[in-house]
Amino acid sequence: MSDPIFPPAHPFDFDAVRDPDDGDKLKEECGIFGVVGVTDAANFVALGLHALQHRGQEAGGIVSYHPDHGFNSARRFGYVRDNFTKQSLMETLPGQLSIGHVRYSTAGSKGPTQIRDVQPFFGEFSMGGAAIAHNGNITNAEALRRELIERGSIFQSSSDSECIIHLMARSLQRDIPARMEDALRRVEGAFSVVAMTRTKLIGVRDPLGVRPLVLGKVGDGWCLSSETCALDIIGAEFVREIEPGEMVVITAENGVESIRPFRPAKPRFCIFEHVYFSRPDSIIGGRSVYETRRQIGVELAREAPVEADLVCPVPDSGTPAAIGFAHESGIPYGMGIVRNQYMGRTFIEPTEQIRNMGVRLKLNVNRALIKGKKVILVDDSVVRGTTSRKIKEMILDAGAAEVHFRIASPPTAWPCFYGVDTPQREKLLAATMSEDEMCSHLGVDSLKFISLDGLYRAVGEAEGRDTKCPQYCDACFSGEYPVEPADMIEKGFQMKAAE
């Protein structure tokens, strides 16, 4: 089977830029990738996971299958580039079929503590083995787990995703795709899944399509990915998005078969994918993520104008919105804050004095540009507000005359239960303070968030948000959850009262 020209053994021969570990930002769920029908498929998966590293930096895993060697797996803590780069490791993952996962823990153990929680998960069934990688969060996982344990299941991890493997094992269906259908009908919440058997690559999105999943063509083979940017890195052609509620079963010989295992539902894609999670060079719903973020800045400038001398992004996620704000307002754009591109998680902090430098290790103010200016700082979100206060202090220390914050998302006032690691509600600044109170708390001259309608206009909904039937999942802003978070309600979480 012919493949495109591609290095067969070393997925990486270049350096990568690591995003700093920012404790005041929402964490980016997980990333999934799979390939079938190409030689050394695991190398393609390693490259795809590298492109999806922004979605999870704690750990990564790859499973492959070869007829002569069976299923093989490798799971490691840390970055893809630090692990899946050695020829000696990649040679242990032979075959033309492979899937992988990069993890940020939203369920299961937090941080690099338990290798057993690192996906993909593998199960051996009577009709052969299967591996599964999951992006999202199962909102009834604890109830399912209790039921499965009572019926004899033995769990190996604390991850909600393992429930899917056990539900498949208990299914009476005669093939693995049918067992997966059975299992996912029991699951509530958000899930995009990439799975593999000995011959098949399988992709599934939940009925609401909360999390993304796309299909690509690579040489004579096929691939599945959380985002289109990971198709670009392996030279794959974007074919289409997997639709909400769709399952695709792909083989090298027969191509793509589409199945509809769930009841139809109105899609509720996560709107925060547009704002922050997805890479700006990805395409979502036919729209450039970069262009959407630039348009958010345009809407912000229309909704919350202010007299100033300079529009400055908080790098890097605030950059497209700042460009849009500057263009619409006519106020000059400038890189008033510069990010240290080489500040990674492994940075040595030997003394208390160094630790107290905090955000200054990651960001530095361009003093020559800032001094004496009225500055508009454009950021993607405010979660706890700790980083925003530090950045404001840095700007004032550099001699800025005024500091105005403009935020490219509505206030984050509710936790997400669909695959994003958000703090408890009382730790979210917008849950306990009004916009004016947040402005006073941050100590800035003004603070304005884009409205929910403005955000919807920026993503292409000209009439704004449909209050009766919202077009997206925006629960972190509105408190309106499209799927009831059963496990959290059982623990005492109070849903927003109906208006």
Would you please indicate which residues are annotated as catalytic (active-site) residues? 30
Q: Going by DSSP bridges, is the β-strand pair 402-407/446-449 parallel, antiparallel, or unpaired?
A: parallel
269-270 and 472-473 strand pairing: parallel
Burial letters 93-105, b for 16+ CB under 10 A, else e: bbbbbbbbbbbbb
- Residue ranges of E strands in 274-415: 283-284, 287-288, 310-313, 337-339, 363-365, 374-379, 402-407
Angle at alpha carbon of residue 427, lines to 190 and 477, rounded to 5° = 45
Nearest to 256 by CA among 185, 212, 213, 200: 200
SS3 state of residue 181: helix
Q: Would you say 58 and 103 are in contact if contact means Cβ atoms under 8 Å apart? A: yes
Tokens linked to 26: 């929402």
Between the CA of residue 119 and those of 30, 77, 165, 221, what are the distances in Å?
Answer: 10, 11, 12, 23
**Residue 421 carries which DSSP code?**
B
Q: Which helix (H) or strand (E) holds 148?
A: helix 141-150
Q: Nearest CA to 270 among 185, 209, 198?
A: 209
Q: How far apart are CA 352 and CA 2, in angstroms?
A: 56
**Beta-strand relationship, 310-313 and 374-379:** parallel
User: Contact, 297 vs 408, CB < 8 A?
Assistant: yes
Neighbour-count burial for 266-303, b at 16+ CB within 10 Å, e otherwise: ebbbbbbbbbbbbbbebbbbeebbbebbbbbbbbbbee
